[in-house]
Structure 1
Amino acid sequence: MKKKDVYEAELAKLNEIFEDVEPTKAKLVEGLVEDAAFLKAENHMLRQSIAITGMVKIHPQNQDLQKPVETAKQYLKNVNAYSVVIKTLNGILSKNGLEGDDEFDEFIRNENAGT
């Protein structure tokens, strides 16, 4: 899969998830959604490279000498950034879902009004 395809698929998925979010909140997190899609696409490409090179280069004559591959370092940084962005987006979704009363809230209110 090409990087552009991964980006567009992730962007479409996240936009679908945020369809029902309050418009002002959706507009607020628009950049984060795009960043998440970008990081997902970047990590896809980095992962393909790491599959070939591995995450660590080991010296052929001295197995104790090891050097992390730069691609692997960047991949780990991106994964951490992606997880922070997704966690932030999930927090927005959770807050959006918590707004408004559900049936339990109505039951408690009715019970308290009756006592």
Structure 2
Amino acid sequence: MSKKAEYEKELAKLSEIFTDVEESKRKLVEGLCEDAAFLKAENYVLKETLSKTGMVKIHPEHLELQKPIEASKQYLKNVNSYAVIVKTLNGVLNKNMIEDEDELSEFE
């Protein structure tokens, strides 16, 4: 799969998740969804590279000499950023669900 295909797949998934969220909130998180899709696509490419190179370069003769691969540093940064975005998006979804439950509780 290409990076663009991975981006589009993730964006479509997030868009589907936010289908039932009210329009104003959906517009508010639109940029975060795009950022999450971008990070997911970037990490898709980095992960492919890292599966071949590993995350740490180890000296063949002196195993105690190790050097992190730059791609691994970026991968971890992206994972952390992606996690923060997903947590934020989840907070919006949970708040939306709580508000929906409050509206339904009026009819009980």
- Whether these two folds match at TM > 0.5 is yes
Long gaps (5+) in structure 1: 111-115
Amino acid at match of 1:72: S
CA distance in 2, matches of 1:86, 1:7: 15
1:18 aligns with 2:42: no
Amino acid at match of 1:69: I
1:57-100 CA-partner distances (Å, limit 9, x unpaired) = 00111000000000000000000000000000000000000003
Amino acid at match of 1:57: K
CA distance in 2, matches of 1:38, 1:106: 41
- Percent identity of equivalent pairs: 64
CA distance in 2, matches of 1:23, 1:8: 21
RMSD: 1.5
CA distance in 2, matches of 1:62, 1:84: 38
Match of 1:37 in 2: 37
Q: Does the residue aligned with 1:61 lie in a helix, a strand or coil?
A: coil
Q: Does the residue aligned with 1:78 lie in a helix, a strand or coil?
A: helix
Residue 102 (structure 1) shift: 6.4
Q: Does the residue aligned with 2:67 lie in a helix, a strand or coil?
A: strand
1:66 aligns with 2:69: no
Amino acid at match of 1:89: L
Match of 1:82 in 2: 82
Long gaps (5+) in structure 2: none
Instruction: Give the TM-score of the pair, scaled to structure 2.
Output: 0.94
1:3 aligns with 2:25: no
CA distance in 1, matches of 2:60, 2:91: 47
Larger Rg: 1
Match of 1:91 in 2: 91
Equivalenced residue count is: 107
CA distance in 1, matches of 2:10, 2:33: 9
